[in-house]
Amino acid sequence: MLTAFARAFQTPDLRKKLLFTLGIVVLFRFGAHVPTPGVSYQNVQYCVAQIEDSNAGLFGLVNMFSGGALMQLTIFALGIMPYITASIILQLLVVVIPRLEALKKEGQSGQAKITQYTRYLTVALAVLQATGLVATARSGSLFAGCTEPILIDDGMFTVLVMIITLTAATALIMWLGELITDRGIGNGMSMLMFVSIAAGFPGALWSIKNAGTLADGWIEFGVVIACGLAMVGLVVFVELAQRRIPVQYAKRMIGRRSYGGTSTYIPLKVNQAGVIPVIFASSLLYIPLLLVQFSGSEGGWADWIQRNLVQMDSPIYLISYFTLIVFFAFFYVAITFNPEDVAENMKKYGGFIPGIRAGRPTVEYLSYVLNRITWPGSIYLGLIALVPAVALIMFNAQGEFPFGGTSILIIVGVGLETVRQIESQLHQRNYEGFLR
């Protein structure tokens, strides 16, 4: 593998793409450390040091996707979360709105139009999220318990400048991601997501070591590393697992030429939904906490939510989280993979599944196979997502356990896709990839 990486840098075109991607990544990480105008950097650092797990349940997901920039209130505080949210919303709307569905079927031109809509929606969501973040920092709720003022001046002009800066920074991140996609290696937004999550790994591992009690925490540190390697191996195995449904195409004579007569397959991944169900479930579980935060209530219902739907070691939280992930896995697969469209396209080009009649029987067979493989995929997602809760109980990881949940799924998924792209380009030039 090391020789393959060396060959990648020896190839001029590939070397330019790799260096360009690394340059964008460095710029992205630099922006994650530039304070937003109007923010007291010293007071923010003091509050972060005083309250290490401040509002982790409410802002943990966004903070992870921003590489820790959210809790530092830097210009890249929102990270790529607005773009991720906009992309998910557009994916759902494509199924609901006929106009968007027609655009998707138009090919590259229609996809370009949907991408443009995603950009507009990203900016709109960035304005909303920036306004909410600045309002939270202004009221002192971002670091609950810290009395130091976060903003130098909480006047309307300062607030407006902060909102514009955060929104413009989000648009800049979106542009950087598209630059990587066009001129670098891999999918740009996925690569920036990878970098943001990976940036938090050293600090999370070191906090686990400091919280340990056996041999100054080194035994716990070693156990976590071993568990992490096992988790990565499991995720790679499941992410690459797929059910291949054979498809045979009949021969057709068009003029003097014959077409078809070939055999291929439909790859159905075990984890067809990816990491989306985990994001949906996490976001939905944040809603009760948001209601408590904004209502300011201290009644019995608010206390019940704080004890059962916020604490990661609560049985009700664990059961609710797992159940929501399984539900959203089936929901997302149902809206993204349409067996009727697949069967119709196969029938149009003369394709059929051996032993299955074309038409309705093919639709029922595809639905049956998809439901069967979605069950283990959804359970796998639920178990992976519960790993941080188990780590909290076993290692007192304060919700910062890196090898589990959304982080490990994204890290492994983006890593595998990037390696595939590098390998394919090596094959084009040297006919040798990472695996011989």
pLDDT digits (tens, 9 = 90+) for 285-318: 777 776 776 666 666 777 777 777 766 667 888 8
Residue 205 lies in a domain: no
Per-residue CA distances from 207 to 199, 204, 212, 312, 399 (Å)? 14, 5, 9, 18, 11
Q: What is the mean pLDDT of residues 376-394?
A: 80
The answer, yes or no, to whether residue 164 has pLDDT greater than 90, is yes
Could you count the other beta carbons within 10 Å of the beta carbon of residue 168?
Answer: 14
Looking up residue 323, the CATH number of its domain turns out to be 1.10.3370.10
Write down which residue in 164, 199, 234 finishes a domain.
Answer: 199
Residue 241 lies in a domain: yes
Specify whether 179 is located in the same domain as 259.
no
Average pLDDT, the chain: 80
In this predicted structure, what is the pLDDT of residue 55? 43
Specify whether 243 is located in the same domain as 270.
yes
In this predicted structure, what is the pLDDT of residue 54? 42
Write down which residue in 167, 199, 231 finishes a domain.
Answer: 199
* Residues 6 or more apart whose Cβ sits within 8 Å of residue 178: 188
More confident residue, 123 or 293: 123
Residue 207 lies in a domain: no
List, in sequence order, every residue forming a beta bridge with 259; answer none if it has no partner: 252
Could you list the residue range(s) of the whole structural domain that residue 77 is in? 14-199
Specify whether 195 is located in the same domain as 112.
yes
List, in sequence order, every residue forming a beta bridge with 249; answer none if it has no partner: 351
Residue 228 lies in a domain: yes
Residue 88 lies in a domain: yes
Specify whether 138 is located in the same domain as 175.
yes
Specify whether 238 is located in the same domain as 290.
yes
Q: What is the mean pLDDT of residues 245-269?
A: 76
Specify whether 336 is located in the same domain as 385.
yes
Strands 252-254 and 242-249: unpaired
Residue 133 lies in a domain: yes
* Residue 245 parent element (H or E): strand 242-249
CB-based contact 388:404 (threshold 8 Å): yes
More confident residue, 223 or 27: 27
Specify whether 193 is located in the same domain as 217.
no
Specify whether 284 is located in the same domain as 142.
no
SS3 of 90-134: the string is HHHHHHHCHHHHHHHHCCHHHHHHHHHHHHHHHHHHHHHHHHHHH
Specify whether 128 is located in the same domain as 225.
no
Specify whether 250 is located in the same domain as 391.
yes
Count of domains observed in the chain: 2
Residue 219 lies in a domain: yes
Specify whether 217 is located in the same domain as 129.
no
pLDDT digits (tens, 9 = 90+) for 186-212: 888 888 888 888 887 887 777 777 776
Specify whether 220 is located in the same domain as 316.
yes
Residue 408 lies in a domain: no
| Confidence tier at 403 by pLDDT (50, 70, 90) | low
Give the whole-number percent of the chain exceeding pLDDT 70: 83
In this predicted structure, what is the pLDDT of residue 356? 85
In this predicted structure, what is the pLDDT of residue 209? 76
